[in-house]
Structure 1
Amino acid sequence: MIRNVLTGIAIAILSGFSPAESYAEQPATEQRQQLFKQIEADTERLEDIVDAQSWEQVTTLARQLERDVELLRTLFPDSSRGEGRSKSKIWQNWGDFDQRLSAWSASFEKLAITSQSKDHRQIEAALDSATSTCRSCHMKYRSLW
């Protein structure tokens, strides 16, 4: 175990990783790609937390996801057009795309509010709504390669 930790530290040092490099200093494309990965991981974790019926944790994580999706709305500057896996349709149809992000954020807000009821069935429905809202953008606005 210690050997793995030391190996990881050595790799990080040799690769030039700098913990001082802040998230905000990265280009928008890298920021949004990392944030999308974080949202995906947190959503998967949220599914497990809902299954475990840990309602306070559901509320906290749903609120974090709501904030993260709101942050995404700022990470599509025109200068990043054509970078990453985002289709150019995002910038051509910005109003629709922005509305979809807003709906996604609102779905996590609804989940946070619903989680306070501790009604497992309603919370599952709110989570399903949040994940389907996410998927609705993929076909229209995300390239597969």
Structure 2
Amino acid sequence: MFEEAISQRQSTFGLIEHDAKDMGKALKAKEVNWDRLELAAKKLHEASTRLDSLFPEGSLEGSKAKDKVWDDNVKFERLLNEMDDGFELLYQATLEKDKSLAQQGLKQAQSTCKACHRQYRSRW
């Protein structure tokens, strides 16, 4: 019944993890390709925004999520929003070609990911 939502959220999280790592490497480069980073940052922001709708009530069975996702939904939603805020900051920074701000946005998003995984995911 919820297989599609579970599959979509798992692939979205996988995309976020992969693309965020690539973004971190790209931001460490001596010469930053801002056009490429802008597209990647936009993709990350869109993916993180999409997650909000991928945790329907009852979609615990067969997923990696803990029941705390639904039991402590206010905090979980806050963490998802914090991650999205970081990716939005990253995206805005790529538009401004501001490397320091982009790194700050990425760091914010990734630290939220780690905090959320510790509390709401049953397997790392």
TM-score normalised over the length of structure 2: 0.85
State the superposition RMSD in angstroms: 1.9
Q: Greater CA radius of gyration, 1 or 2? A: 1
C-alpha deviation, 1:137, in angstroms: 0.4
Match runs of 1:92-131 below 5 Å: 92-131=71-110
- Residues matched between the structures, number: 121
C-alpha deviation, 1:127, in angstroms: 1.7
Match runs of 1:130-145 below 5 Å: 130-144=109-123
Correspondence for 1:55: 34
Separation in structure 2 between the aligned mates of residue 114 and residue 34 of structure 1, nearest angstrom: 26
Structure 2 unaligned segments of length 5 or more: list them: none
Q: Tell me: higher relative CO, structure 1 or 2? Use CA pairs within 8 A at least 6 residues apart.
A: 2
Match runs of 1:1-145 below 5 Å: 27-52=4-29, 53-144=32-123
User: Kindly, what percent of the aligned residue pairs are identical?
Assistant: 32
C-alpha deviation, 1:69, in angstroms: 1.0
What amino acid is the match of 2:116? Answer: C
Q: Is the 8 A contact 2:94 2:102 kept in 1?
A: yes
What amino acid is the match of 1:102? Answer: N
C-alpha deviation, 1:50, in angstroms: 1.6
TM-score normalised over the length of structure 1: 0.74
Q: Is the 8 A contact 1:114 1:123 kept in 2?
A: yes
Structure 1 unaligned segments of length 5 or more: list them: 1-25
Q: Is the 8 A contact 2:9 2:51 kept in 1?
A: yes
1:27-86 CA deviation, whole Å, 9 max, x = no partner?
Answer: 211111111111111111211222231122222211111111111111111121233110
Separation in structure 2 between the aligned mates of residue 124 and residue 60 of structure 1, nearest angstrom: 16
Correspondence for 1:16: none
Q: Is the 8 A contact 1:49 1:57 kept in 2?
A: no
1:96-127 CA deviation, whole Å, 9 max, x = no partner?
Answer: 11121111111111111122333333322222
Which secondary structure does the structure 2 equivalent of 1:78 belong to? coil
1:5-43 CA deviation, whole Å, 9 max, x = no partner?
Answer: xxxxxxxxxxxxxxxxxxxxx621111111111111111
